[in-house]
């Protein structure tokens, strides 16, 4: 007889007190039916021979098999399922090996569930399905019985393994209190029983148990168990360490919360019931009215702030972030000006000249005022320094009634300057776009992206690529700044970019902007700008009246011609400011100051003129021709000189004057055309072999390049080779081909005005440039005769007429 209290407690759920029951084990000695062995599948239990335990019966099929075994004292097979989630497993769902066991007793527990007390015998391997004779509705299998190969107890290695298993089992049981009773082995317990009981009950991996149940050698099973116990012991150590850290963190958080509550109570006692920073942020967030997605993010960040200690650095970082986010104009917009006539008058009064530029801007203002929801194109004002690109942006903002902010991009080489820094370190901040919106206080300002052609790039990223999202109307409605980490709508912002040159602007960025070129001002326009804007502004800054300082028109023109070399008016403004400073100094010293300031006073006030404008050169010498060139500071006359020298062997073409490849090619093309038409021009072909031809462009220190000197070089060569001088006070500009066609060139406006300043009376240009000449006011070209040509023959007819 054996008492149930002497048997191992249950290995699965339903581990409840079973009371005291006596069982006669002699009644359970029947041999297993290997052809039709009833199978009781378990979900997570792998049973080993010689082990007594209880198994919870939850499924109907398991209860029927257990009760049948108990009633008929018939051994059954206990096999673990491969997938524990299968409710009605078949043989294919079970592992290949199991244990023959006797169901000693089926007990009904107080909660109505049933449990079976079983005793393991020996192992078996499933060979196939059973005959189904014993219990037709039950799961059965044809099995082959397996024997365990015992190990010699005298083996030193085997003894060491068993001792390690004992020690490891005790360690695991200490760290897992529910296992303490299961692995308490009295002295004299057989080694195989220690191995089998430990393998059945201790929390080791199922894969290890499957290896053990298949092992025929007890020693092999013991080695597998020992390794599994080591791994389980290490895992319990890690779990205990994690739990201790979690408990310590929880205690610290509770302590911090308790101390924070005490601090809040003390503060209320000292200063009254004052709202916290988190409460203020919540009020600000409610006033903004975020959508559900953004509101959830903001709420999470505010809760995070509330958990921080106000004295910690993390609190300051989180506070700064929330203050920045809630300071952005999520729903604030400027009230737009709908008076088109007023907007047009603002633009006209702020800027003189630039008629085409102002016309394009006025067109855009009209479109925006007619439909405020239209997606405005990104305008890019391109021109030399000082022509008014930035001031045009200010005028556009004033005309529309919007806020204006400037975003300086010159020298920016970090992508984070555009997209913002990630909040991973102290000192993180939003990008310049978000910062400009914060400063503007509205979500529909005019943002001037200044000097986009001077963006840099390095290992920190490419800012120009980051601008692609900013300047794309289809994408910027969801602009993502890394610091804010919430999408911001930039579709209401009017972006205006500025650049001095488009050569360094990346092509993808150039595709997103509409270029408006500002070529610069002619001297007459500069005079009017000085009268209307520069002098009044300089006097206003000093607090003087117009009557306190007068400058004659002739003096202003002399400053423009002799003291400045620019397309804009920045240097002109500085020189006028210098005259004002001289006047202020004279006033404080009680000295006389000329009023008005005339040309004769400039040398004393401004010093010797640094620039000398070329006058029309005497071209009575054959081989000297006046050309016209464009520079970033305006137009210039360009002299071409040709001389012949005897050649020792074969004549060569020599070109000097710090020229680029295009100018050198123009000289080669010009000479080749002359050689092809030498007979028609009255030139002896032998001259090309007997003489070196030297083409020189004076002022060799100044680089020269560009396709605009072709007809000038041809004329100078023909003049030198024929010995005929060209007409006096004649200048020309245009490129040529090998066929003698004259091609149009750019910069006509600046070139023609430079020619007039130099006293030129006749100018030759390509007929296709007639439209450029028509855009120039007639009074600017008074006294100049234009000659429009198609071919080099037309050029030479005008030149030598």
Q: Angle 304-306-308 (CA atoms, 0-180°, nearest 5)?
A: 75
CB atoms under 10 Å from CB of 73, counted, come to 13
Q: Where are the beta strands (DSSP E) in 187-303?
A: none
CA-wise closest residue to 748 among 515, 520, 498, 501: 520
Q: What is d(CA 470, CA 493) in angstroms, rounded to the nearest whole number?
A: 10
Pairing of strands 97-108, 76-80: antiparallel
- Which residues have a Cβ under 8 Å from the Cβ of 538 and sit 6 or more positions away? 573, 576, 577, 580
Show which residues are catalytic. 708, 751
CB atoms under 10 Å from CB of 643, counted, come to 17
Q: And the tokens for 236?
A: 């319990």
Q: And the tokens for 389?
A: 């690109």
* Phi, psi of 557, rounded to the nearest 5 degrees: -65, -35
Q: Where are the beta strands (DSSP E) in 284-417?
A: 378-382, 404-408
Q: Which residues pair with 723 in a beta bridge?
A: none
Helix 570-588 with 535-542: angle, nearest 10 deg: 40
Q: Is the separation of the CB atoms in 454 and 502 below 8 Å?
A: no
Peptide bond before 414: cis, by omega within 30 degrees of 0?
A: no
Q: Please give the DSSP secondary-structure letter assigned to residue 534.
A: I
Q: What is d(CA 288, CA 488) in angstroms, rounded to the nearest whole number?
A: 14
Q: How far is CA 282 from CA 145, 288, 290, 467, 484, in A?
A: 73, 10, 11, 33, 17
CA-wise closest residue to 718 among 610, 662, 640: 640
Residue listed under structure tokens 């079983």: 118
- CA 643, 648, 650, 653 torsion-angle sign: negative
Q: What is d(CA 217, CA 46) in angstroms, rounded to the nearest whole number?
A: 17
Q: Where are the beta strands (DSSP E) in 200-346?
A: none
Q: And the tokens for 114?
A: 């049933």
Helix and strand numbers (H, E) in the chain are: 27, 24
Q: Is the separation of the CB atoms in 611 and 565 below 8 Å?
A: yes
Q: And the tokens for 616?
A: 């029309």
Radius of gyration for the alpha carbons in the chain, expressed in angstroms and rounded: 49
Q: Write out the H or E segment, with its range, that includes residue 146.
A: strand 140-146
Q: Could you tell me what percentage of the chain is helix, strand and coil, using 3-state DSSP and rounding each to the nearest 5? A: 45, 20, 35
How far is residue 350 CA from its own chain's centroid? 38
Q: And the tokens for 527?
A: 């005079």
Q: What is d(CA 792, CA 80) in angstroms, rounded to the nearest whole number?
A: 102
Q: How far apart are the first and last CA of the chain?
A: 143
Q: And the tokens for 205?
A: 């991996």
Q: Write out the H or E segment, with its range, that includes residue 638.
A: strand 634-646
For 292-321, give one letter per residue: b (16+ CB within 10 A) or e: eebeeebeebbeebeebeeeeeebebbbeb
Helix 313-327 with 277-288: angle, nearest 10 deg: 20
DSSP letter string over 412-475? ---THHHH---TTSTT----HHHHHHHHH-SSS-EEEEE-GGG---BTTB-HHHHHHHHT-TTT
């Amino acid at each position: 007889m054996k008492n149930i209290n002497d048997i191992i407690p249950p290995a699965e759920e339903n581990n409840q007190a079973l009371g005291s029951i006596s069982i006669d084990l002699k009644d359970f000695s029947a041999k297993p039916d290997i052809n039709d062995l009833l199978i009781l599948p378990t979900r997570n239990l792998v049973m080993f021979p010689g082990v007594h335990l209880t198994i919870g019966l939850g499924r109907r099929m398991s209860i029927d098999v257990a009760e049948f075994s108990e009633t008929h004292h018939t051994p059954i097979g206990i096999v673990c399922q491969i997938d524990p989630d299968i409710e009605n497993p078949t043989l294919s769902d079970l592992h290949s090996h199991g244990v023959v066991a006797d169901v000693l007793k089926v007990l009904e527990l107080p909660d109505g569930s049933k449990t079976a007390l079983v005793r393991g015998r020996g192992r078996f391997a499933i060979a196939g399905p059973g005959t189904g004779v014993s219990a037709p509705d039950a799961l059965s299998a044809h099995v082959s019985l397996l024997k365990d190969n015992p190990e010699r107890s005298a083996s030193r290695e085997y003894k060491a393994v068993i001792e390690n298993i004992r020690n490891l089992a005790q360690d695991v049981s200490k760290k897992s209190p529910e296992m303490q009773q299961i692995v308490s082995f009295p002295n004299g317990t057989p080694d195989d029983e220690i191995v089998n009981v430990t393998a059945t009950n201790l929390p080791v991996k199922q894969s290890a148990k499957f290896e053990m149940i298949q092992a025929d050698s007890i020693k092999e099973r013991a080695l597998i168990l020992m390794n599994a116990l080591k791994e389980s012991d290490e895992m319990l150590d890690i779990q205990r360490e994690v739990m201790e850290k979690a408990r310590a963190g929880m205690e610290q958080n509770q302590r911090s919360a308790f101390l924070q509550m005490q601090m809040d109570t003390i503060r209320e006692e000292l200063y009254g019931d004052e709202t916290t920073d988190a409460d203020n942020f919540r009020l600000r967030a409610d006033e903004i009215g975020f959508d559900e997605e953004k509101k959830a993010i903001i709420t999470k960040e505010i809760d995070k702030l509330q958990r921080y200690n106000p004295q910690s650095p993390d609190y300051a970082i989180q506070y700064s972030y929330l203050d920045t986010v809630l300071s952005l104009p999520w729903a604030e917009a400027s009230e737009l000006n709908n008076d088109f006539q007023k907007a047009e008058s603002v633009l006209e009064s702020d800027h003189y000249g630039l008629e085409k530029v102002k016309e394009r801007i006025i067109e855009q203002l009209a479109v925006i005022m007619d439909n405020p929801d239209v997606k405005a194109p990104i305008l890019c004002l391109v021109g030399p320094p000082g022509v008014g690109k930035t001031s045009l942006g200010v005028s556009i903002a004033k005309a529309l009634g919007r806020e204006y902010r400037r975003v300086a991009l010159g020298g920016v080489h970090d992508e984070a300057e555009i997209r913002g820094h990630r909040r991973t370190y102290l000192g993180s901040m939003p990008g310049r776009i978000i910062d400009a919106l914060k400063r503007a206080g509205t979500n529909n300002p005019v943002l001037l992206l200044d000097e986009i052609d001077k963006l840099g790039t390095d290992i920190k990223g490419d800012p120009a690529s980051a601008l692609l999202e900013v300047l794309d109307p289809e994408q910027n409605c969801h602009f993502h700044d890394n610091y804010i980490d919430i999408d911001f709508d930039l579709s209401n912002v009017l972006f205006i970019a500025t650049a001095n040159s488009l050569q360094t602007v990346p092509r993808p960025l150039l595709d997103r902007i509409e270029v408006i070129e500002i070529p610069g001002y002619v001297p007459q326009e500069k005079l009017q700008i000085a009268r209307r804007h520069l002098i009044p502004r300089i006097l206003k800054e000093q607090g003087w009246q117009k009557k306190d300082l007068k400058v004659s028109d002739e003096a202003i023109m002399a400053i423009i011609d002799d003291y400045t070399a620019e397309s804009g008016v920045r240097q002109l403004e500085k020189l006028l400011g210098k005259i004002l400073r001289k006047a202020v100094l004279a006033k404080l010293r009680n000295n006389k100051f000329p009023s008005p300031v005339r040309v004769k006073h400039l040398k004393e006030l401004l010093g010797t003129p640094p620039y000398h404008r070329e006058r029309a050169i005497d071209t009575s010498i054959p081989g000297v021709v006046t050309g016209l060139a464009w520079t970033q500071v305006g137009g210039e006359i360009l002299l071409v000189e040709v001389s012949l020298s005897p050649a020792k062997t074969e004549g060569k073409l020599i070109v000097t004057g710090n020229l680029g490849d295009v100018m050198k090619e123009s000289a080669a093309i010009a000479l080749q055309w002359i050689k092809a038409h030498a007979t028609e021009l009255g030139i002896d072909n032998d001259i090309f072999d007997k003489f070196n031809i030297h083409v020189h462009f004076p002022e060799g220190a100044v680089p020269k390049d560009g396709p605009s000197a072709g007809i000038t070089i041809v004329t100078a060569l023909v003049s030198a080779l024929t010995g005929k001088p060209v007409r006096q006070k004649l200048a020309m500009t245009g490129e040529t081909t090998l066929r003698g066609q004259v091609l149009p060139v750019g910069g006509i406006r600046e070139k023609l005005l430079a020619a007039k300043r130099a006293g030129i009376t006749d100018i030759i240009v390509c007929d296709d440039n007639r439209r450029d000449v028509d855009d120039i006011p007639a009074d600017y070209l008074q006294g100049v005769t234009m000659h429009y040509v198609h071919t080099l023959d037309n050029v030479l007819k005008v030149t030598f007429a």
